[in-house]
Structure 1
Amino acid sequence: MEFTLHQIAAMLNGKIEGDGSLKVNRIDKIQEGKEGGISFLANEKYESFIYETAATAVIVSENFVSQKPVKANLIRVKNAYSGFTQLLESYAQLSKANKFGVEEPSYFDKSSSIGDNHYRGAFSYVGKNCNIGNNVQIHPHVYLGDNVKIGDNCIIHAGAKIYQNTQIGNHCEIKAGAVIGSDGFGFAPQEDGTFKAIPQLGNVVIEDHVSIGANTTIDCATMGSTIIKRGVKIDNLVQIAHNVIIGENSVIASQTGISGSTEIGKNCVIAGQVGIVGHIKIADKTTIGAKTGIPKNINISGQTKFGFLGMDIKDFLKSYSLFKKLPELQDRIKELEKKA
């Protein structure tokens, strides 16, 4: 696909500095830009590349001031990062091969229904009494159990498994290999030392505009629902246990594990490899750093937690600065003991 700089500037509500009639057909990193490509500059660490890049055009923020001559044509927008993201989204929509129809072999139970403009890939399975909306793509090897509901404009990628009674809203994307609604980890210890499985009778409810990463697992509730609220974005390889609630517009990075019946607030940011115990509440707008352990409630919104036991980040950094000095302090103590 090929676009003029005038077309791109109009799309991004930007202003051109240079020749707007020039055409681009590729999106490049600024340090790898070539003729016919368009790049962006949003981080000052990469500013040196704008004076070297061979890209035809570079998207910059409207307040960017060049320190040297720039060969590339510039498209100035309010925010370069947001503008480039908008360009990527538009490009992805245009370049995405929208599939329609049904590939065989596949199975669709006669008691289920599906809306207009749908796609069902080969070896997909749709169980009894499912209700699927318009413009839904169900890719190969997807499994939908009985009584699953999926709203409009959703994409279920290859190999995803969605267990019975799961409810998915509109404009959701479930990436490849994700498992939604499998049994929660519930076992009752017995007198003889063995464990007996506790039936998991609830479901999973996913609201609108949610993205679930590849190979992520969301367990069904023991009773009631595990709930992923509107606008949540979950990375690959995340484990969400039974009866967890994730608040609106929260984001969770890879390899995080959230134990049962925990409630995460709105607009939280949870980095990779975070571990959160069960039956606690995390306040709105909490940020949790990578590899942090959260053992108890976080009641005050807007805090940042970091460290093995989730200390306030300022306290953690102070403590860590002392930790690094322990060998030096030990030597000083030994010297003082010799003088005593």
Structure 2
Amino acid sequence: MKFTVKQIAHLLNGEVRGDDSLIISQLSKIEEGSQGDISFLANAKYESFLYTTNATAVIVSQGFEPKKKLSTTLIIVKNAYIAFTQLLEEYQKILNFSKKGIEQPVFVGENTTIGEEIYQGAFSYIGKNCKIGTNVKIYPQVYISDNVSIGDNTILYAGVKVYENCIIGNYCVIHSGAVIGSDGFGFAPQADGTYKTIPQLGNVILENNVSIGSNSTIDCATMGSTIIREGAKIDNLVQIAHNVEIGQNTVIAAQTGVAGSTKIGKNCVIAGQVGVNGHIAIADGTKVGGQAGVTKSVRKEGISINGTPAFDLNDYLRSMSILRKLPALEKQVRALETQVEELINQGVLA
């Protein structure tokens, strides 16, 4: 795939300084650029590479003025980082959505409808009574059970498993190994010490523009739905339990686990290896630090928390500061104890 500098500048609403007819065929880091590449400069510490790069074009922010002579063409945009991100997104769309057609062997159940521009990879399975939208890309060895709905322009990478009755929206991306709709962890203890399985009869709903990372699992609801709201982004190796609700545009990093029936608000940021208790609520805009344990509801919006159990980030940082000083404090206390004993022995203190 090849584009001119002029075409890329038009896409990014940018201004060209140099030759706009040059051909771009790939993207690269500025320090690794070669002929035909386009790169970007958003961090001043990389500016030196601008004067030595072999990249054909470089995206820079408005107001930037080079300090040396350049051998590359510049595309000037409002924000270079955002513009390059947009370019990456467009490039990815071209790559991901270029696949079309149905490979063999595949299976499609009765009463299933499939939209135009479909790609269905070899050894993929689609059950009965499913509705698959337009321009959906189903990679090899994907399993889609009965009564599943998948919206337009959604990608399911190799090895994804979608259980029955789940609903997936438009422009979703589900990466390899993810499981959508597996049974929630529901077991009732019995008098004899055994456990009786509680049937999990609900489903999972992924709204539009949701991203699910590799080998993450989202359990179906016991009744009703486990819901991942529009724009939410879930990293690799994340466990979302039954009846959980994740709010709009919330992001959750790897190795986080959210227990059953918890409601997480919109625009939250949850770092890696966080454990979230069940049956609690986390307010909109909450930021949870890495390895935190959230054991109770967070009612106030927009705060940052950390620690186990998690509490206000500023208090947590002060606590950590004191904790680092404990060895020195212990020495001071022991020294004071010795001084007090000496004063008692001298009869100064009773």
Q: TM-score range by the shorter chain?
A: over 0.9
More displaced stretch, 94-103 vs 241-250: 94-103
Distance 1:250 1:188 in 2: 32
CA offsets 1:111-165 (integer angstroms, 9 cap, x no match): 2221222122211111121122222222211111111111222111111110011
Note the C-alpha offset of 1:245: 0.4
- Once the two structures are TM-superposed, the CA of residue 17 in structure 1 deviates from its matched residue by 2.5
Q: CA shift at 1:303, angstroms? A: 0.8
The range that moved more, 67-76 or 269-278, is: 67-76
1:69: how far off? Answer: 4.8
**In structure 1, the residue corresponding to 2:116 is in which secondary structure?**
coil
Q: Is 1:107 equivalent to 2:107 in the alignment?
A: yes
C-alpha spacing 1:134/1:6, structure 2 compared with 1 (3 Å)? closer
Pairwise CA distance, 1:54 = 3.0
1:153 match: 153
Helix, strand or coil for the counterpart of 1:153? coil
1:41 aligns with 2:41: yes
Counterpart in 1 of 2:183?
183
Distance 1:225 1:95, change over 3 A: closer
The residue that corresponds to 1:212 in the other structure is: 212
In the alignment, the residues of structure 1 paired with residue 54 and residue 3 of structure 2 have an alpha-carbon distance, to the nearest angstrom, of: 18
The 5 Å alignment of 1:14-29 reads: 14-29=14-29
- Equivalent positions of 1:91-170 (< 5 A) are 91-96=91-96, 98-170=98-170
State how far apart, in whole Å, the 2-side matches of 1:161 and 1:96 are: 19
Question: What's the counterpart of residue 283 of structure 1?
Answer: 283
TM-score using structure 2 length = 0.92
Structure 2 residue aligned with 1:335: 335
**Closer, same or farther in 2 for the Cα pair 1:247/1:326, shift >3 Å?**
same
Mapped to 1, the partners of 2:243 and 2:182 lie a distance apart of: 12
Moved over 4 A (4+): 65-71
Deviation string for 1:240-279 (max 9, x for gaps)? Answer: 0000001111111111110000001011111111110000
2:53 pairs with 1:53: yes
Give the match for residue 221 of structure 1.
221
Give the conservation status (yes or no) of the 8 Å contact 2:240–2:257: yes
Q: Which amino acid aligns with 1:300?
A: K
Kindly indicate whether the alpha-carbon contact (under 8 Å) linking 2:244 and 2:262 is maintained by their aligned counterparts in 1: yes
Could you say if the C-alpha distance between residues 98 and 296 of structure 1 is closer, same or farther in structure 2, counting changes exceeding 3 Å?
Answer: same
Structure with bigger gyration radius: 2
- 1:321 paired residue number: 321
- Secondary structure of 2:218's aligned partner: strand
Displacement of 1:70 in angstroms is: 4.6
| In 1, Cα distance between equivalents of 2:230 and 2:35 | 41
Gaps of 5+ in 2: 341-350
Mapped to 1, the partners of 2:70 and 2:160 lie a distance apart of 47
**Residues 50 and 317 (structure 1), Cα distance of their counterparts in 2 relative to 1, 3 Å cut:** farther
Query: Would you say the 8 A contact 2:97–2:135 is kept in 1?
Result: no
The range that moved more, 205-214 or 66-75, is 66-75
Distance 1:121 1:315 in 2: 52
**Larger deviation: 51-60 or 141-150?**
51-60
Distance in 2, Cα, partners of 1:339 & 1:123: 80
Deviations 1:178-216 (A, max 9, x none): 101010001111112221111111111111111111111
Distance 1:153 1:73 in 2: 34
* Contact 2:184–2:220 (Cα < 8 Å) also in 1: yes
Unpaired segments ≥5 residues, structure 1: none
The percent of aligned pairs where both chains have the same amino acid is: 59
Question: What is the CA–CA distance in structure 2 between the aligned matches of 1:223 and 1:208, rounded to whole Å?
Answer: 22
Relative to structure 1, the CA distance from residue 272 to residue 65 in structure 2 (aligned partners, 3 Å threshold; closer, same or farther) is farther
> Within 2, Cα distance between the matches of 1:70 and 1:300?
51
User: What is the rounded CA distance, in whole Å, between the counterparts of 1:103 and 1:131 in structure 2?
Assistant: 19
Aligned to 1:235: 235
CA 1:333 to 1:45, structure 2 compared with 1: closer, same or farther past 3 Å?
farther
Q: Distance in 2 between matches of 1:300 and 1:253?
A: 22
Of 230-239 and 23-32, deviating more is 23-32
Summarize the Cα distance change of 1:20–1:259 in structure 2 as closer, same or farther, 3 Å threshold: same
What is the DSSP-based 3-state SS (H/G/I as helix, E as strand, rest coil) of the residue aligned with 1:83? Answer: helix
Q: Structure 2 CA distance, aligned partners of 1:271 and 1:196? A: 34
What's 1:306 paired with? 306
How far apart in 2 are the matches of 1:106 and 1:35? 42
Output the TM-score relative to the length of structure 1. 0.94
User: Cα 1:309–1:87, aligned 2, differ >3 Å: closer, same or farther?
Assistant: same
CA distance in 1, matches of 2:84, 2:295: 39
Give SS of 2:16's match.
Answer: strand
